[in-house]
Structure 1
Amino acid sequence: MTALNTGRSVAVIGSGAMGAGIAQVAAVAGYTVRLYDTRPEAVAKAIAGIASALEKLVAKERINAIDCASAVARLQAAVTLADVADAGMVVEAIVENLEAKRALFAQLEAIVAEDCILATNTSSISVTAIAAGLRLPGRVAGMHFFNPVPLMALCEVVSGLATDGAVAQAVYDTAAAWGKNPVHAKSTPGFIVNRVARPFYAEGWRLLNEQAADAATIDAVMREAGGFRMGPFELMDLIGHDVNFSVTQSVFNAYFGDPRFTPSVLQQEMVNAGFLGRKVGRGFYQYGDAAVAPQVQAEAPQPKPEYVSYTVEQGAALNVVGGAVVDALAARLRAVGIEIVQRRMPESIRQAGPHDDAPAFHCNGATVYLTDGRSATQRARDNNHSDTVLVDLALDYGSAKRIAVACADQCTPAAYHAVVGLLQAAGFTVTRLDDVPGMAVMRTVAMLANEAADAVNQGVCNAAAADIAMQKGVNYPCGPLAWADAVGIEHIVRVLANLANSYGEDRYRVSPLLRRKQASGGRFHD
């Protein structure tokens, strides 16, 4: 079975935002679409809206007028369910309710041909449960699009326990024919995106709860250092805190209370207060003409230190020690003319066993490390070096506008200010976070990679699908597993293990697949 032939029509049941969007992409791809809703006026409104959207694309020269007219002509209103009897595929986009979906598919099974594929656009309900009780459950698959459908590239093709493999592949091929980036997924709570994305929000809430910084500052660090299009709090304001909290609760309950998915009490308070985000004019931010943008924390200017050195291991080349992450920061410093004196760790120290002396920058008595999941205060104690400062992860140290730092409670102001001056001289806006384990970008990326690795380990999807899903479904700047490869899987495991030690929570347990990759020296992508 391959992609649905354009000679067979597609039926879309439900004419809301998702249903209309699905109808639009199918019609533009050359398929006759029959759109059905229990409210005929809603169908008429949806078709008019699609026509208007396509005419705007013509005005922007995204499509030509002939293709626009042809696509609109392929949209037909179905007055009754019987009008979709000859469809080769039916895509359901009705209310997110299991019993309603089961009832609809039971009706459809008595109307359509036996070779008609039944697809559900559910975002959270088990495809296995939806298909249960049907005479031919093997022809039911998930076809989860993302809103707005015409713009979002991802389609999760979800197989329930009974889904026939050929059906899943046909849905995959059809989504690709519609111009989407499809990925295969197994029907488990949250599928890929809604499961793997939970740490992006959850770690933001933990940072806020522990007073690492205010919401606007955390958002700025995630955008301007992490490369995310939006920070967690502005994104939740856009989604709606009621919606986001409900999804988190659903995933948490579906996984029988796994602490990795624990909802935030702070978000519950936002919902209780009615501070739901953009749609009500107030969330973490104020919205409207009179809204004032909150101030983002940035350190005051400090002088550049006169002397900077970089410790590497004995016998190692400077450009490979510490991995690409630390080397990229060193390259940024050198690019602006900051001279870095290379120091090598004595062989006697290196052979003595695990150490924290390399790779590290040094200036005016301060030692600067990439965070490894410990707090700066703990690392200073472990190293017996009070003047310890940590830097957070950045997507690209060569172009990042901002960098986050944290210093040990024991650190002297002079040593800390020397580090700030060094990073400012390299062109960074420096933001200080309170000394929480793992900082902001690093702990979030580590947890995203951990969740993606667990999804792969449990057969929900493969590594390529996990990364495609997060980039195409929620616009992450990098797939979490590719990011783990870039940072170094050993370092990601170290961050997670140190977070687990710091908090004493199963929430930060390391995925067995990450442990396996660490032990083998393997990567997720070659």
Structure 2
Amino acid sequence: MIQCVGVIGCGPMGAGIAQVAAAAGSDVILLDTVPEAAQRARDEIARRLASLERKGKLPAGASQSALSRLQIASDLPELAGCDIVIEAIVEQLDAKLALFSRLEGIVAETAILATNTSSLSVAAIAGACMIRGRICGMHFFNPVPVMRLVEIVRAPDTSDDTIAKVRQLADRFGKSSVTVGDTPGFLVNLQGRAYILEALAIANEQVADAATIDRIMHHGGGFPLGPFALMDLTGIDINLAASTYIYAGYNHDPRLRTTPMHQLMASAGRLGRKTGRGFHDYGDAAAPEQPAPSPDAPFALSARIVEPDERWQPVATGVALSGGDQFNLVAPVGEDCATICARLGLDPKMTVALDLTAADRRHLTVMSAIGGGSAAERVAQWLRSHGFAVEVVQDSPGFVLQRILAMIANLGCELAQTGIANPHEIDMAMKLAQNYPLGPIEIAQRLGVSKTFQIMEALHQATGSDRYRPSLWLRRRALLGLSAYAPPS
């Protein structure tokens, strides 16, 4: 059993790891190259633990008990008795290689060496060591005491015993752990690319602006933050660096490609909340949020539903729709309005496409083909008059919501296909680390496996880009009518 935990690096991550370890009953030795940093970290841990105890979130006396188990070391040899050492120093490979090489000559051969790296290869870090079976990643999320997920990263030489012991330790720390492959971005940072990068692609195509896309994904998709608000929160420079690293690490897979806009924002110093401006403005520069268009009094629309099916029920039963042919209403899956007009021989000036994906949330997106802008606006007014929140976007295969959800699901399926993690762990990781309303595989299941595949196929055909090639995991299950969770054999 692991009892003594060494933590090297006393920044926010290292201090957070030390706090949860001490609070869980472990003996903790904290080390930083700057002695004052270790003392500051201990003082901050003491303050946080005392606050938790005052709020009743820790039993009486628990904060003092935890602090009594927390020691500060002045040099590496003082970690000789540790059962595990968790490194949380600067994200530079040379620094980590040097540290692990020194540690190997200090700790017992049975001790585990773990890195909290969020981006570097664990195998590369282990390259400095002779006993590589005991080396793994233990990637916590910030703030450590609050975030429940830990990614346990298995490098090619990591032993099963090491993984089992580290998972048990994470459980003692009160964390949920997922075991993931040693790949660029591991699980969460890799899977998170789909949400933001597809939003950037949609904005780059002038389908909708950042504010509109954020509203669609927040109100229609149920995400806590829209993709652009999320980038502003994390920092556009940080997000760009992660995206660039993962893109290069996956040999420039087009699924993971960002847009020139991403680099442009970073180059302009518009980094998000920390600079007061990003995709949105903050502080004194922030413009007041524009109110939603005021709905008209409910009115009937002379229109016909083309290709009616059960998806129309939330709309057709809640609005005044008089039979007529002033407008054609369509609900494409993956297609843009131009494609469906051409396929069905419809007049693009009279045809309006509705995304019904979030109709049960009373949220709709409408678009039209070239020349149909006034028709789209009129249909949007009609829907708003009956209580729907409506966004109007330019013509796009998959609208906004279908497109981003399908890309999230497709990348999740690819992670399952390539063995980075299993479907249930992929879902759990994204809900715990990114607060997704549904995990990626759950999204495929909720949309419908066949429908998700249909959206990806339509995007692939419309754009001709391998960015939208369906994952084989998704394709096989769609063709066979199976659940997105169906195991390979």
Bin for the TM-score computed over the shorter chain:
over 0.9
In the alignment, which of 343, 366, 375 is matched to residue 405 of structure 1? 366
CA displacement at 1:412 relative to structure 2: 7.7
**Equivalences for 1:144-223 in 2 at 5 Å?**
144-223=139-218
Which residue matches 1:447? 407
Which residue matches 1:417? 378
Q: In the superposition, relative to structure 1, how do residues 393 and 153 fare at CA in structure 2: closer, same or farther (>3 Å)? A: farther
CA displacement at 1:417 relative to structure 2: 2.3
CA displacement at 1:211 relative to structure 2: 1.4
Aligned equivalents of 1:16 and 1:479: distance in 2? Answer: 31
Aligned partners of 2:366 and 2:376 also within 8 Å = no
1:438-472 Cα deviation digits (max 9, x unpaired): 11121111111111111111111110111111111
Secondary structure of 1:150's counterpart equals coil
In the alignment, which of 34, 43, 48 is matched to residue 38 of structure 2? 43
Q: In the superposition, relative to structure 1, how do residues 491 and 112 fare at CA in structure 2: closer, same or farther (>3 Å)? A: same
Which residue matches 1:385? 346
Aligned partners of 2:366 and 2:380 also within 8 Å = no
Which residue matches 2:313? 330
Secondary structure of 2:151's counterpart equals strand
RMSD, aligned α-carbons: 2.4
Aligned partners of 2:29 and 2:72 also within 8 Å = yes
Aligned equivalents of 2:344 and 2:142: distance in 1? Answer: 49
CA displacement at 1:408 relative to structure 2: 2.7
Aligned equivalents of 1:254 and 1:511: distance in 2? Answer: 19
1:308-357 Cα deviation digits (max 9, x unpaired): 877788xxxxxxx65xxx2xx624764xx55899xxxxxxxxxxxxxxxx
CA displacement at 1:9 relative to structure 2: 0.9
Aligned partners of 2:305 and 2:330 also within 8 Å = no
Aligned partners of 1:393 and 1:441 also within 8 Å = no
Aligned equivalents of 1:393 and 1:166: distance in 2? Answer: 49
**Equivalences for 1:437-476 in 2 at 5 Å?**
437-476=397-436
Aligned equivalents of 2:321 and 2:374: distance in 1? Answer: 22
Which residue matches 1:246? 241
In the alignment, which of 462, 466, 476 is matched to residue 506 of structure 1? 466
Which residue matches 1:478? 438
1:231-269 Cα deviation digits (max 9, x unpaired): 111111111111100011101111111111112211111
1:8-36 Cα deviation digits (max 9, x unpaired): 21111111011111111111111111111
Aligned equivalents of 1:366 and 1:176: distance in 2? Answer: 58
Which residue matches 1:354? none
Aligned partners of 2:301 and 2:321 also within 8 Å = no
Secondary structure of 2:411's counterpart equals helix
Aligned partners of 1:126 and 1:187 also within 8 Å = yes
Which residue matches 1:344? none
CA displacement at 1:369 relative to structure 2: 4.0
Aligned equivalents of 2:365 and 2:346: distance in 1? Answer: 21
Which residue matches 1:84? 79
CA displacement at 1:192 relative to structure 2: 0.8
Letter in 1 for 2:155: G
Aligned partners of 1:390 and 1:406 also within 8 Å = yes
**Equivalences for 1:169-318 in 2 at 5 Å?**
169-289=164-284, 291-295=286-290, 298=293, 301=296, 303-305=298-300
Secondary structure of 1:46's counterpart equals helix
How many residues are aligned here?
484
Aligned partners of 1:146 and 1:152 also within 8 Å = yes
TM-score, length-scaled by structure 2: 0.92
Aligned equivalents of 2:324 and 2:145: distance in 1? Answer: 52
Letter in 2 for 1:447: M
Aligned equivalents of 1:134 and 1:363: distance in 2? Answer: 76
Which residue matches 1:316? none
Q: In the superposition, relative to structure 1, how do residues 112 and 363 fare at CA in structure 2: closer, same or farther (>3 Å)? A: farther
Aligned equivalents of 1:189 and 1:305: distance in 2? Answer: 54
Moved more, 118-127 or 46-55: 46-55
In the alignment, which of 53, 57, 64 is matched to residue 58 of structure 1? 53
Q: In the superposition, relative to structure 1, how do residues 220 and 422 fare at CA in structure 2: closer, same or farther (>3 Å)? A: closer
CA displacement at 1:69 relative to structure 2: 2.2
Aligned partners of 1:302 and 1:418 also within 8 Å = no
| Structure 1 position 139 matched with structure 2 position 134 | yes
Aligned equivalents of 1:253 and 1:215: distance in 2? Answer: 26
Letter in 1 for 2:360: G
Aligned partners of 2:351 and 2:375 also within 8 Å = no
Identical columns (%)? 39
Aligned partners of 1:299 and 1:432 also within 8 Å = no
Aligned partners of 1:200 and 1:448 also within 8 Å = yes
TM-score, length-scaled by structure 1: 0.86
1:258-313 Cα deviation digits (max 9, x unpaired): 11111221111111111111111211222224532343775863743267877788
Q: In the superposition, relative to structure 1, how do residues 269 and 69 fare at CA in structure 2: closer, same or farther (>3 Å)? A: same
In the alignment, which of 101, 122, 134 is matched to residue 106 of structure 1? 101
Which residue matches 1:375? 336
Q: Which runs of 5+ in 2 are unaligned?
A: none
Aligned partners of 2:295 and 2:384 also within 8 Å = no
CA displacement at 1:397 relative to structure 2: 3.8
Aligned equivalents of 1:442 and 1:13: distance in 2? Answer: 44
Q: In the superposition, relative to structure 1, how do residues 430 and 225 fare at CA in structure 2: closer, same or farther (>3 Å)? A: same
Which residue matches 2:389? 429
Letter in 2 for 1:378: T
Q: In the superposition, relative to structure 1, how do residues 176 and 264 fare at CA in structure 2: closer, same or farther (>3 Å)? A: same
Secondary structure of 1:91's counterpart equals strand
Q: In the superposition, relative to structure 1, how do residues 414 and 202 fare at CA in structure 2: closer, same or farther (>3 Å)? A: closer
Aligned equivalents of 1:513 and 1:307: distance in 2? Answer: 44
